[in-house]
Amino acid sequence: NLIRNESIVALKHVATGKYLSSIDNLCYTTGSKRQLVFAGSPKPDTNAFWKIKFNKELAVYNKTSINLQHIKFGEVLGLCYNYCSTYIYYKSPITEHTEVCCGGNEISWKFKHSKLEHHQEYLKSNDIINLSIHRHDNSQNLFLRSHNVQFTIGNDTFQEVVCHNERLGGNDE
């Protein structure tokens, strides 16, 4: 099944089996204070569905930029920064990697096949990918990652989702 522009997708983290999620008006208490993104339930629920958007009918590996818009509340997955003569990106609550949120300034993601470096086919359901985003402050590409690091807001615990520039591994698929 090919992924078409404006398809509804759920992104499953391979290592933990949890889905990329966000809840309307549930915000970080540190950093950007924007709507948080986390690895949620091992079963997709309404907090885990995203509309994938790009400028063609089909998305090609290593060539197509995508946006991921949450279907429940319309915010787009991204990074947030404060600009005061320099770009200052917000840090994640625990590991202090780059914070990932809904409604950020940087929202254009690239995807690549996790195992095949020069894969040039179309994006399909159940493909295992790495998502990356470009930071303006240091021209680095950062990769989306989740891991078993958890943080708490109120009485609820969340599995951290961040962006990083380290070596890619199983936590990045």
Most confident of 78-87, 115-124, 164-173: 78-87
pLDDT at 81 (0 to 100):
92
Q: What is the pLDDT of residues 92-122, one digit of tens each?
A: 988 989 999 998 899 999 988 766 666 668 8
Distance of CA 139 to the CA centre of its chain: 18
Residues in the chain: 173
Q: What CATH class is the domain 7-172?
A: mainly beta
Residue 139 reports pLDDT greater than 90: no
Burial code (b: 16+ CB inside 10 Å, e: under 16) for 121-157 equals: eebeeeeebbbbbebeeeeeebbbbbbebebeeeeee
Residue 155 reports pLDDT greater than 80: yes
Q: Which two tokens stand for residue 100?
A: 């990932």
